[in-house]
Amino acid sequence: MGEVFRMRDPAGLLRLLDDYEGCGRLSPKPYEFERELTVAVLDRAGQVDVWTYVYRRPVDEDRLLISGASGVSPVSEW
């Protein structure tokens, strides 16, 4: 579940997002997140390739948020 956006300037926007997510060219390693190309299945339009940021640190499964509720406001409300 999520949202898919078409980017007007993919290279420029991905550079900004990489910096925001802490995996830009100047970000210290190891990265907390890394950008990966994956496939999204759309409700009525088949499949599309999308970029996503994947968390790369160990996860304590006892603290897993099954509902996806993180307490953070969705981006659309910022």
- Show pLDDT as tens, one digit a residue, over the chain (78 residues): 788 999 999 999 999 999 999 999 999 999 999 999 999 999 887 999 999 999 998 887 777 666 655 554 444 333
Enclosing domain of residue 45? 1-58
In a domain, 11, yes or no: yes
Please check whether residue 66 is in contact with residue 54, taking contact to mean a CB–CB distance below 8 angstroms: no
In a domain, 66, yes or no: no
Q: Which pLDDT score is estimated for 48?
A: 93
Please check whether residue 2 is in contact with residue 10, taking contact to mean a CB–CB distance below 8 angstroms: no
Whether the full predicted model's pTM is greater than 0.85, yes or no, is no
How many domains, the chain? 1
- The CA–CA distances, whole Å, from 7 to 12, 31, 39, 47 equal 9, 24, 16, 17
In a domain, 10, yes or no: yes
